[in-house]
């Protein structure tokens, strides 16, 4: 039972971090801070940047 609870907690944390990443990406796009290649990534928090960089390159785009 403890293992299931731990797994559920981990999944919930991943959902929260993913939601934060989406929110931060939306803010970057709303501010149109995507001019300089890769510079906009500095606007992401460390935790969400790690998640973004974990995504496949075709999802990240050429940024």
Please report the pLDDT score of residue 3 as a whole number. 57
Determine phi and psi for 34, rounding to 5 degrees.
-115, 15
Cβ atoms of 38 and 63 closer than 8 Å = yes
- Expressed as residue numbers, the domain containing 6 is 1-59
Tally of structural domains, the chain: 1
> What own/partner pairs with CB < 8 Å and gap ≥ 24 does 37-44 have?
37/63, 38/63
Residue-wise pLDDT tens digits, 2-26: 455 556 577 778 888 888 889 988 8
Distance CA 11, CA 30 (A): 29
Question: pLDDT tens, 23-52?
Answer: 988 888 887 666 667 777 888 889 888 888
- pTM of the shown model: 0.62
* Residue 54 to residue 52: CA distance in whole angstroms: 5
């Amino acid at each position: 039972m403890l293992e299931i609870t731990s797994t559920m907690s981990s999944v919930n944390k991943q959902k929260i971090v993913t939601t934060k990443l989406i929110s931060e990406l939306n803010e970057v796009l709303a501010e149109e801070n995507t001019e300089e290649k890769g510079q906009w990534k500095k606007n992401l928090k460390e935790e969400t940047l790690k998640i973004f960089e974990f995504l496949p390159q075709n999802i990240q785009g050429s940024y």
